[in-house]
Homo-oligomer: A and B are copies of this chain.
Amino acid sequence: MFGLDALSSAAYGPEAALTLLIPLGLAGVEFIVPVSAAIVILLAIVYFSYRQTIEAYPQGGGSYTVASENLGESAALLAAAALMIDYVLTASVGISAGVGALISAAPALQPHTLELCLIVLAVLTLVNMRGVRDTGVVFMIPTYLFTLTLLVVIAVGGWQTVSAAGHPHPLTPLPATPTVTMAVSWWLLLKVFSSGCTAMTGVEAVSNGVMAFREPTRKNAKTTLTIIIALLAILLLGIALLCRAYGITATDPGSSGYESVLSMLTRAVMGHGWFYYLTIASVLLVLALSANTAFADFPRLTRAIAHDGFMPRVFQIRGRRLLYSWGIYVLVALTAILLILFGGVTDRLIPLYAIGAFMAFTLSQAGMVMHWKRQGGMPLRMALNGLGALATGITTLVVLVAKFTEGAWITALLVAVMMVAMRAVKRHYMSVSREIELHRPFVPVEVAEPIVVVPVDGWSRISEKALSFALSLSSDIHCVHVRASDDPDPFIDGWQENIAAPLRAAGRCLPKLVTLKSPFRYILHPIVDYVLNIERETDTRKVCVLIPELVVRHWWEGMLHNRRSDLLKVILLMRGNRRIIVINIPWYLGND
């Protein structure tokens, strides 16, 4: 399960690199091998770094935790912003690449790429909102299947390559080689490397979740990390070597002739039979499930950030089924926006992706350097994490520069905006808590009973209930009734009989009847003006406004009621000040 996200990156990383090599024609495929080798070297460095993170943070060392504990607030916020973007892109790219595999196997679906992406997103959302129980097997089988089928492809392809002295013949015809429109340049290779780096996303999963392993947790986590990194390296190098051997060039993403690199590779090596469809199905599943990891990680991250006061508190509220629902809502909304903006095409999302992940890598490694320093030296460990920080830091810069105009600027801008926003949120919460803090005991003042205003539009059970409650609060009650015309008004005509007489008979104090004229049939404004006027004329007494509110049994009934009372409450709160208190008198439909 921890390898899911990392291994699935092999499905889009090499392809992202190959896509940029299209303009070089068949010659471009040559470059995929050295670029992949460079990525695998980087992967090895990151591997040793993360082994140390596991050692130091057995309770789970995500980039945000490590950065905030070791590098201070700014670095923590940078990590927070980078990680949030990273998770949103994990979801988006997982879905779009999965759908990319699907439309490679069924090209007739290609015009519906975006719709398919949104359907997958909707399914993931539903599954996650209902809560996922016992996901182990669901996650395990596709991950094993994905790794196994790809390893078989690589083994068979490697054998055929060797047998054919380096020039195997594809079993099914590949698309035409693209025409050469560009010469190779260092700049292009930098961009290819930057895109290929997306193959490394997700390797931090093990160190984030050390606490989920069985005892001895650290050892098991490290073994798992070793297996995952080794498998990923084999997949990346294997795919690169076979693409060169079979001469597989990427196809134009988003166009009608699109076919994913893994799809072409599988059918070149294994033919267009059942094994091909099994592989494509496992790719689709694994990518959808890797998108699903964002549904677990994103809400957990936003909860942690909210807990530190940098995001709205709503992200801390656990809803039904113990979920941090708001984190999921925001993730789904952002993912949907990204998918729609970029048409569900993986290649257009790639430039935004690697930068967030590598920023988080860098901060995590840099945080580990500080961690070892504080632990009292440990120069070897410091050096190892320092190397990791340096390598990923340089890569971050390379990706930022190489991809800047193609989309990395969006990520960079977003990170900056989010950091400013998170600081503003924290500042706001701090200022509120300063404003309300109180360092003296209670000062009980003898206050007069409140003035109670009861807007009444007619004599009904609801007005009776409101009036009853008003009588229990105060003896100074104003019944406010709005009239639109001079026609006879049953409420005013019935006032003596329905209200005044029975109260007088019971020896209770009488409410004051206030009639407000409203020539333009506005209902709310006369009431608001009257209440504000009362507040202005009195000095310390509270003004309670009793507004009936219907409590409905079905959500759709809710759309039919209470808008006017909600509006009255909002207007009173906005225009009033601290002495007006709105009290909603609930009326339970069918029950009261």
| Pairwise interchain contact A567-B317, C-beta atoms closer than 8 A | yes
| Pairwise interchain contact A447-B472, C-beta atoms closer than 8 A | yes
- CB-defined interface of A457-481 with B at 8 Å, one 1/0 digit per residue? 0011111110111011100000000
| Pairwise interchain contact B438-A461, C-beta atoms closer than 8 A | yes
Asked if A587 is an interface residue, CB under 8 A from chain B, the answer is yes
Q: Say yes or no: A582-B581 contact (C-beta < 8 A), given A444-B508, A460-B436, A499-B442.
A: no
- CB-defined interface of A486-527 with B at 8 Å, one 1/0 digit per residue? 000000000001110111001010000000000000100000
- CB-defined interface of A563-586 with B at 8 Å, one 1/0 digit per residue? 110010000011011101111111
In the complex, A486 Cα to B267 Cα: how many Å?
Answer: 63
| Pairwise interchain contact A586-B590, C-beta atoms closer than 8 A | no
Q: Closest residue of chain B to A497, judged by CB?
A: B441
Q: Closest residue of chain B to A557, judged by CB?
A: B428
What is the copy number of this chain in the assembly? 2
Residue from A437, A441, A563, A588 with most neighbouring chain B CB atoms (10 Å): A441
- CB-defined interface of A427-453 with B at 8 Å, one 1/0 digit per residue? 011001001111001111111011000
Residue from A435, A559, A588 with most neighbouring chain B CB atoms (10 Å): A435
Q: Which of B445, B473, B576, B581 contacts A585 (CB 8 A)?
A: B581
Interface size class on chain A is 35 or more
Residues of chain B with a CB closer than 8 A to A586's CB = 573, 576, 578, 580-582
Q: Say yes or no: A502-B461 contact (C-beta < 8 A), given A588-B578, A591-B577.
A: no
Asked if A542 is an interface residue, CB under 8 A from chain B, the answer is yes
How many whole Å from A470's CB to the nearest CB in chain B? 11
| Pairwise interchain contact B437-A464, C-beta atoms closer than 8 A | no
Q: Say yes or no: A502-B441 contact (C-beta < 8 A), given A318-B522, A550-B432, A581-B585.
A: yes
| Pairwise interchain contact A589-B450, C-beta atoms closer than 8 A | no
| Pairwise interchain contact A589-B432, C-beta atoms closer than 8 A | yes
| Pairwise interchain contact B464-A438, C-beta atoms closer than 8 A | yes
Q: Which of B438, B468, B497 contacts A447 (CB 8 A)?
A: B468
| Pairwise interchain contact B449-A468, C-beta atoms closer than 8 A | no
Q: Which of B437, B445, B459, B588 contacts A460 (CB 8 A)?
A: B437
